[in-house]
Structure 1
Amino acid sequence: MAQVSGYPPIIILKDDVDASQGIGQIISNINACEQVVDVLRSTLGPRGMDKLIQGGDGKVTISNDGATILRVLQIVHPAARLLADIAKSQDEEVGDGTTSVVLLAGELLRQAKSFLEDGVHPRVIMSAYRKAYQLIAERLRRIAVDVAPQLSVLMSSERASEADTEAARSILRRCAGTALNSKLIAQYREFFAAIAVDAVLALDADLDLDLIGVKKVNGGSVSDSSLVPGVGFKKTFSYAGFEQQPKKIHRPKILLLNLELELKSEKENAEVRVQSAAAYQQIVDAEWNIIYEKLEKIVATGARVVLSRLAIGDLATQYFADREIFCAGRVPDADLQRVARAVGARVQTTVHDMRIEDALGTCEWFEERQVGAERFNFFTGCKEAKSATILLRGGSEQFLDETERSLHDAIMIVRRTLKYPQLVAGGGAVEMELSKYLREHSRRIQGKAQLLIAAYAKALETIPRTLCENAGFDTTDLMNKLRAKHATSEENQWVGANLETGEPHDCWENYIWEPALIRSNAFAAATEAACTILSVDETLKTETGERDAGAGLVPGHGTGGRHRA
């Protein structure tokens, strides 16, 4: 509703529209974002704690991964939802640093709040933040360590010496180990780092992660997990006759289908009118003739392994078993596509007029074997596209789920390191170095920008500060020591927090490495998220059913209570 002096009010919005605007609305949005940050703060770093979240369906999630926690919490506040979005984008882009990006964005907003309360215009803050990001992005490019020469031996077609290859693998294992250091499986980080590196290096030059399958098998020890150089998937439902099928085949021809191979009953209320028993027999014979014709054409291709996305019934199963052919129906689409790419086959939607040279694929070995309490089908020695399958073992479903998420982060780190081989030290070292650089720069400029760039520098320290807090050390003392180290010499640019002793140490010399892309992407996403939230000075709610949209967090489907911003 708008009103002009001397005239009656003009109705612009409906009565049920709730409008909030001004600096107060910006600060309200910042307060909501701070609640999200407070949830994730204790999960950062090797000494971070895990969150147990029970959803409305009763499913329990145990994780310290920022993107996973925010996804399960189902944030409903429109501004705070931006933090969940940047965590998701960080996870999809680089695979790690999801908690760091949310903490940094929240700290940038917290630093901006005091300036807003003092009357500084949001656009001035946004301009200074973007300038600060440009400065640290350029500084990050200069200090990042290029390891491309060492890693080139892994991507080159020429044969390299064993020592060079092992040195390159060691770099990747250390990067993966840093990512796993803060996970639930940190005590097995060397074991899983080696699996992550071997899985990525098993791929072709394009490093397509769709060719890496992760399968979880309950039971056994975590150390029983293994990497299979090929495609593997859990045995599908089988009809009578599958026991007679071959379980190991050398160099089989493989046919992949997207059609049913079973007799289908008529749909409900279907009606067929016949005049005689002979006519009825013709209908029955036609059904049998159709499926037998399909089976004969499949056998005629010479295929020894037949997989289908749809069902393969008991008739077809026994038919194939009598002819020494392995078959499996209802194969998950993702597994079928991985098999197709690995063995060089094309999924067929009909058995008529097939071009055998295009339809069939092959591999060195097909084998069905027992893994724990499950049966798995494996295709190894694939020539068309290299692939890998990771079999995870563990005692509980929640542990296996978190192990899969942790391994995904490590695999993404290895892949990004190979594509963008510039590294920085972790442990808060790079943030302390960039913070020092921004402070020095801010002293050389005048006006409000000096204070705002210094505020950005202070926000960068939230990462090492939170690492210290979560480890239980004296944060003030350790942060002062880190600032002193970075201020005294350029050689101390990689000094970070030792979370074992509570003292500064050289993180680069202690192999706490991570791709520079993680930090670069985190700084960019956090800056843009903070600027976006600062730019919103009015919120309109147009549906009365969403008047509780000011709520902060809703775990699962509304269980566990509600926090208001």
Structure 2
Amino acid sequence: MSRLCKKQPSVCTSDPLTDGEVCRKLAVLRQILTSCFGPHGRLKQVHNSVGGQVLTTSTSAVLLKALTLSHPVPKLLTASVLNHVSRFSDCGLFAGILSSGLLDHARGLTVEPSTVAGVYRRLLGLCTSYLRQGDCGCKVPVDFGSSHGLLALARAVVAGKPACMLTRGEAQHVSTQVVRAFLQTVPCSAPGTVCLGKTAIVTLEGRPVAETAVLPGLLVDMPETLCPADVERLGRTPLRLALFNVSLAGDLPEVGEGTLEVDWETSLEGAVLGQLLRLGEQVVRDGVRVFVCQRVVHPVLQQYLRKHGIIVVERLGISLLEPLIQVTGAQAVASFQTPVPVQSYGQLAGLDVQRCGPREMLHLLPAGDPACCTLLLCHRTETALNELKVACQSAEHVLRQTLKEPWALLGGGCMETHLSSYIRYQIRSDVSEAASELGCSRTDYLLAADGFCRSLDAVARALEHDGGERLVDLSYGHCWAVPVGMPPQAPWRDVLGSCECGLMPLKEDLEWTPLSTERLPFSPALPVATAANPLVLDSFPAKFSALQVAVETANLILELKYIVQDVN
């Protein structure tokens, strides 16, 4: 006998940022994100309370997807961040920390939330306008005639994820391979439309990271019925390839478009199998040597093709479909009920067997010079390998975005402290005009603007996880780290090396102040020369987007008046 429970009324919360429980949940979320931030961030293990797999990560895209949030406010914050910046490495954490910091500072003010949101929007416009300027002091050009800038960008992503468990040398090696793979996907100048190629990532668990390499063409799993001797027999000679993206398993629901003629004495299954065999007869007549299907191939068709010396690769998967099209020039055939057009066949330069540790893989050698390659990614453990794959995909995306906008932002917290210093100086000159436009007092405007700048400084301070001090110089606005364990009375000048991004060396005329203290506004100067140290760089498009997402998300939450929750 079932029990009927009375339906509970929905819970309505007005002005959610004044609710202590909401603020506590936001504070916990901010602590989670902050503790993962940067190359020295702490790992997070996410485990469902009812059991299941334990997830170890510090990558924002993985972490935010794994978090189960019940309250609408933190859920809205993480969803906004994840939807916009999930393909970039630390930018999800950057946006989450900045957004929650802006909300925290707004909560402590007596200023109307709508006024604070208006100030934040105005200052966001000031930030984006400055970052777009050619003489912006916190960005540097990326020269595609040299690999240094590209390597710095890739290294910042790969080395910035502690769950990848890489030594410095391993991080440099993987970063180099990622850049090599990216450069192979950039086609040479040619008439007509030019499009970027693809990098297929194949992971190999249990092998040293040093075996990570870039190979031309594609690696696919070796079919169980294929012997290396069969591949060697074909050798490195031009081979015709047929590619299908429809199931060839003979299942009736998978017949798809087209007409299937069925004799009254023949079963449907027999008619489908007969059509598949007619397809096999055609590809044999057309001289096909490699038969590839994204999905499953019927065993009878496989046997027929192998009998005629054709290599069959099934279950290719959707991720390798487009790279294979680019490598071979083939057109994916979506039906088996009509003859295969001759122009849909592709071409391979040959086949090879690649031995990757204990695995044997079929190496599809490209004909010509296609902008496609395979990144063979090796690591010792499954957890580290999964994290490294995400980092490499993010690094490749960063490099692709840099093609559109060849700039990089200074990393290590220097972009945030320089931008904060610039805003503090600029708002003093237009405070009366800005307050008048927003309909607030000068004091309210300055209080909200101070919270905006403090939130940027807090992102730079979040890079320190061992209790050390973070400083800002009063000339260039760069971020400097004081080593942990320094004697209290030791002068900063005696323990500092260069700024965190590596651009500014130690100078005699520099003065510093802790990021956690008040500082007088100053106009940050532009650096006159680049230091000899390798620069720590961040993606310009990624950070630019994350800054906008952080402010827009904070403003959206600030302007929430009511939250209605169905508790049934």
Common fold: TM-score over 0.5: yes
Give the drift of 1:128: 0.7
Which of 439, 452, 467 matches 1:472? Answer: 467
Q: State the SS of the aligned residue for 1:503.
A: coil
| AA aligned opposite 1:72 | A
Partner of 1:252: 239
| AA aligned opposite 1:346 | Q
Partner of 1:307: 292
Correspondence list, 1:55-70, <5 A? 55=48, 58-70=52-64
TM-score computed with the length of structure 1 as normaliser: 0.78
Instruction: Map Cα deviations across residues 128-166 of structure 1 (whole Å, 9 max, x no partner).
Output: 111111122222233154525x32xxxxxxxxxxxxx4x
Give the drift of 1:104: 0.8
- CA separation of 1:131 and 1:379: change in aligned 2, threshold 3 A: same
For 1:454 and 1:285, the matched residues in 2 are separated by 76
| AA aligned opposite 1:108 | L
Give the drift of 1:499: 6.7
- CA separation of 1:438 and 1:244: change in aligned 2, threshold 3 A: closer
Which stretch has the larger CA shift, 298-307 or 371-380? 371-380
| AA aligned opposite 1:534 | L
Partner of 1:544: 567
| AA aligned opposite 2:171 | R
- Mapped contact 2:17–2:23 kept (Cα < 8 A): no
Alignment of 1:451 with 2:442, yes or no, is no
RMSD: 3.1
Instruction: Map Cα deviations across residues 450-486 of structure 1 (whole Å, 9 max, x no partner).
Output: 1111111111111221222x1431x2xx33xx2xx2x
Partner of 1:177: 155
Correspondence list, 1:263-278, <5 A? none
Which stretch has the larger CA shift, 339-348 or 257-266? 257-266
Partner of 1:363: 348
Partner of 2:29: 36
For 2:60 and 2:401, the matched residues in 1 are separated by 19
Q: State the SS of the aligned residue for 1:544.
A: coil
For 2:274 and 2:311, the matched residues in 1 are separated by 22
RCO comparison, higher one (Cα < 8 Å, 6+): 1
Which of 119, 123, 126 matches 2:114? Answer: 123
Give the drift of 1:432: 0.9
For 1:172 and 1:352, the matched residues in 2 are separated by 48
For 2:37 and 2:268, the matched residues in 1 are separated by 68
Partner of 1:562: none
Give the drift of 1:113: 0.7
For 2:328 and 2:90, the matched residues in 1 are separated by 32
| AA aligned opposite 2:176 | A
Partner of 1:52: 45
Which of 494, 498, 523 matches 1:505? Answer: 498
For 1:389 and 1:32, the matched residues in 2 are separated by 43
Unpaired segments ≥5 residues, structure 2: 1-6, 188-192, 255-263, 432-441, 487-494, 504-530
- CA separation of 1:22 and 1:61: change in aligned 2, threshold 3 A: closer
Residue-pair matches, total: 486
For 2:450 and 2:175, the matched residues in 1 are separated by 38
Instruction: Map Cα deviations across residues 92-149 of structure 1 (whole Å, 9 max, x no partner).
Output: 464442211111111111111111xx3x21111001111111122222233154525x
Partner of 1:3: none
For 2:251 and 2:560, the matched residues in 1 are separated by 58
Instruction: Map Cα deviations across residues 268-316 of structure 1 (whole Å, 9 max, x no partner).
Output: xxxxxxxxxxx98999987775443222112012111001133324433
Correspondence list, 1:485-564, <5 A? 485=473, 487=474, 489=475, 492-497=476-481, 503=496, 505-506=498-499, 507=501, 508=503, 509=531, 510=533, 511-541=535-565, 543-545=566-568
Which of 386, 405, 430 matches 2:390? Answer: 405
Q: State the SS of the aligned residue for 1:378.
A: strand
Which of 336, 346, 349 matches 1:350? Answer: 336
Alignment of 1:295 with 2:285, yes or no, is no
- Mapped contact 2:88–2:542 kept (Cα < 8 A): yes
- CA separation of 1:376 and 1:91: change in aligned 2, threshold 3 A: farther
Correspondence list, 1:208-247, <5 A? 211-236=198-223, 238=224, 245-246=230-231
| AA aligned opposite 2:339 | D
| AA aligned opposite 1:381 | P
For 2:357 and 2:161, the matched residues in 1 are separated by 25
| AA aligned opposite 1:35 | V
Which stretch has the larger CA shift, 190-199 or 404-413? 404-413
Alignment of 1:414 with 2:399, yes or no, is yes
For 2:267 and 2:64, the matched residues in 1 are separated by 61
- CA separation of 1:525 and 1:504: change in aligned 2, threshold 3 A: farther
Q: State the SS of the aligned residue for 2:352.
A: strand
Partner of 2:181: 199
Give the drift of 1:433: 1.0
Partner of 1:428: 413
Unpaired segments ≥5 residues, structure 1: 1-13, 152-164, 268-278, 546-565
TM-score computed with the length of structure 2 as normaliser: 0.77
Identity %: 19
Partner of 1:329: 314
| AA aligned opposite 2:450 | A
